[in-house]
Structure 1
């Protein structure tokens, strides 16, 4: 929104709220709610001049009160203009005083801000009262009291606005932080297969070179096998560059700082809640931990728990429940993911960690899932020096138990 539009909206708002007023004493002096709106706008709008706002608001209030008085109440034009002119000067003086006292510089101090607002409000009202020839010690006391009240209401409103603004910013930050962590954890999961591909490429290149050695006396086969070795070597270099790029990215994030288990659970809970909602299921889920500790390689936890939880959600119907818990002993951390889903058949259990093995098929297309989720988990567990155990009973549920050495998670 442009500055001009902001100025127009502010002046309109102050003009309308300026018609919400009361007379504390028998005089022409009005105390309106428009001043509170004016103060709030000055505090909130860093890039806008308080003097310009005061001029526009003063003109707006002056014109609004004249229109109401002349057109609606049928007051005399000259009398109405004379009656409302001090209100215009009130806002002009108010804006100049706010500029002189440098309100924006002290707005983070509750005492200074309320004092400046009350002082500015009081001085402006006293000058207006002098112009209306309705000044006495009693009116001055009322003016100071009202100035303090309006200043306090203004600052409390400003604090509420800032708190709400901070809440929104924190919510957006948390959302982006969650998405970033999930993205990095997914990249890390795919790195296991890039590393596996590197080993397969090494084997192919070795076999190709072996063929070259075997048939190097045959000019045709020698050139063919050498070409294959060269092409495989180029593929290996490309894979290596991609893998090193991913590893540098992961290391940058992981070395930046560790993440507490409570934060990990919070992020996973947020992601899981969205997934459950998108699945149109009503599934309860809870997270519990014995101790909150810092995890250096936290993306490993994301990959493992996300895969296990999503599998549980897919295996559960409405009214089911999923529980994620953490326990520990002297040397190991244990994560358990328990659901009250359909369960896994006993004869299938030995194969669930095999890459590509799946029992999931799309109801519409009939296409099977990739079957790499649990193999991801198994790869990570092996890499961390731990192990995974699964217990399942048909129509009762399934429990996955991850056992991980402490020094694999905390970098010790």
Structure 2
């Protein structure tokens, strides 16, 4: 919302709410709800001027009250102006005091802000009462009491608004952070295969150069083998640049932040819930994390657990159960992902960590899955100096246990 709209909407709200009023303790001076709204808008909107808002409110209140009085009461316009102009003076006085005191500067100080708003309200009301020639000691007491009450209500609403705003910002931050973790973990998965490809390229380049050395006396083969070596060398340089770029990117993220295991749990919950909704599955998920350690290498953990949970979801039907647990001993952190899904045939268990091995097929296209999920997890576990165990029974379920040295994750 731009600044002009804020002025207009705030002014209209104050003007119409000013027609909701009361006479406390049977006094003859009326007090409107509009002032609570004015206090609130001054606290919420940092970029608007207290004086400009109060002046615009004074004119709107004066105009609306004149229209209503002339329309619904048997008095002339001149009488209406004389009746309502002190209210306009009230708002102008309010704005001048709020602007002079700079009420927005220390608005996070609860006691100070409430007292200052009450002071501004009271002085402005006393000014209005003097113009109306309706002032007394008892009236001043009522004015101060009403000023404190309206200021307290306005600040309470402002405090609640800020709490809600902070909650929404935290939820949005959590959502973006979850998405970022998913992106980073996917990049990490590709990194393992980039590194493997680098080794393969180096082997091919070495072999092509050996061919060149072997057949350098043959002019035709010499030129062909040399060209192959050159082309492979160019491919290697391109791969190297890409690999170093990704490594630098990941290094910046991993060095700049840490995450508790509890935070990892929140992100996993969020991702799992979204994945289940996208795939229209009704599977029960149980998560139980015992430790509150701060992790440095949390992207690796997130990547492993995310892959394992998705595999379990794919193996489960509606009303099946997936349990994710975490516990530790002096040296290791343990993570278990177990499910009551379809299980894995004993005959194929020895092959499930082989790159490219898969039993999954897209029902719509018949296309096989990539088969890199479990091999990727195994690569990460080995890179962290840990180990992975799997137990599965067909039509009973699967349990996969990761044991990772604490020093590998904590850093």
TM-score by length of 1: 0.97
Q: What's the secondary structure of 1:106's corresponding residue?
A: coil
Residue 283 of structure 1 is matched in structure 2 by: 283
The structure-2 alpha-carbon separation of the partners of 1:264 and 1:27, relative to structure 1 and needing over 3 Å to count, comes to closer
Q: What's the secondary structure of 2:231's corresponding residue?
A: helix
Q: In 2, Cα distance between the equivalents of 1:97 and 1:293?
A: 52
Residue 177 of structure 1 is matched in structure 2 by: 177
Residue 66 of structure 2 is matched in structure 1 by: 66
Residue 20 of structure 1 is matched in structure 2 by: 20
Q: In 2, Cα distance between the equivalents of 1:362 and 1:73?
A: 77
Deviations 1:197-253 (A, max 9, x none): 001101111110111011101111101000000110111111111111111111111
Q: In 1, Cα distance between the equivalents of 2:273 and 2:83?
A: 61
Q: In 1, Cα distance between the equivalents of 2:4 and 2:335?
A: 58
- More moved, 393-402 vs 119-128: 393-402
Q: Is the 8 A contact 2:27 2:139 kept in 1?
A: no
The CA deviation at 1:9 is 1.0
Deviations 1:19-53 (A, max 9, x none): 11012255652211100111111111111111110
Deviations 1:284-329 (A, max 9, x none): 2122123221222111101110100000111111111111111222
Residue 40 of structure 2 is matched in structure 1 by: 40
1:260-275 equivalent positions in 2, closer than 5 A: 260-275=260-275
The CA deviation at 1:75 is 3.2
Q: In 1, Cα distance between the equivalents of 2:145 and 2:12?
A: 27
Residue 195 of structure 1 is matched in structure 2 by: 195
Q: In 2, Cα distance between the equivalents of 1:41 and 1:97?
A: 16
Residue 106 of structure 2 is matched in structure 1 by: 106
Q: Is the 8 A contact 1:283 1:319 kept in 2?
A: yes
Q: Is the 8 A contact 1:57 1:91 kept in 2?
A: yes
Residue 315 of structure 1 pairs with residue 331 of structure 2: no
Residue 215 of structure 1 pairs with residue 215 of structure 2: yes
Q: In 2, Cα distance between the equivalents of 1:6 and 1:329?
A: 57
Q: Is the 8 A contact 2:343 2:396 kept in 1?
A: yes
Question: Which ranges of 4 or more aligned residues in structure 1 deviate by more than 4 Å?
Answer: 25-28
1:309-348 equivalent positions in 2, closer than 5 A: 309-348=309-348
Q: Is the 8 A contact 1:325 1:335 kept in 2?
A: yes
Deviations 1:120-164 (A, max 9, x none): 111111111111111111111111100000011111111111111
Q: What's the secondary structure of 2:376's corresponding residue?
A: helix
Deviations 1:75-104 (A, max 9, x none): 332222211111111100110011112211
The CA deviation at 1:406 is 2.4
Q: In 2, Cα distance between the equivalents of 1:211 and 1:261?
A: 53
Residue 256 of structure 2 is matched in structure 1 by: 256
Size of the alignment, in residue pairs?
A: 411
TM-score by length of 2: 0.97
Q: What's the secondary structure of 2:35's corresponding residue?
A: helix
- More moved, 203-212 vs 76-85: 76-85
Q: In 2, Cα distance between the equivalents of 1:117 and 1:259?
A: 42
Q: In 1, Cα distance between the equivalents of 2:202 and 2:242?
A: 16
Q: What's the secondary structure of 1:170's corresponding residue?
A: helix
Unaligned runs of 5+ in 2: none
Q: Quote the RMSD (CA, aligned, Å).
A: 1.3
Q: What's the secondary structure of 1:276's corresponding residue?
A: helix
Q: In 1, Cα distance between the equivalents of 2:190 and 2:74?
A: 79
Q: Is the 8 A contact 1:28 1:132 kept in 2?
A: no
Residue 80 of structure 1 pairs with residue 68 of structure 2: no
Residue 120 of structure 1 is matched in structure 2 by: 120
Unaligned runs of 5+ in 1: none
Residue 168 of structure 1 is matched in structure 2 by: 168
Q: Is the 8 A contact 1:27 1:134 kept in 2?
A: no
Q: In 1, Cα distance between the equivalents of 2:9 and 2:303?
A: 50
The structure-2 alpha-carbon separation of the partners of 1:314 and 1:4, relative to structure 1 and needing over 3 Å to count, comes to same
Q: Is the 8 A contact 1:25 1:139 kept in 2?
A: no
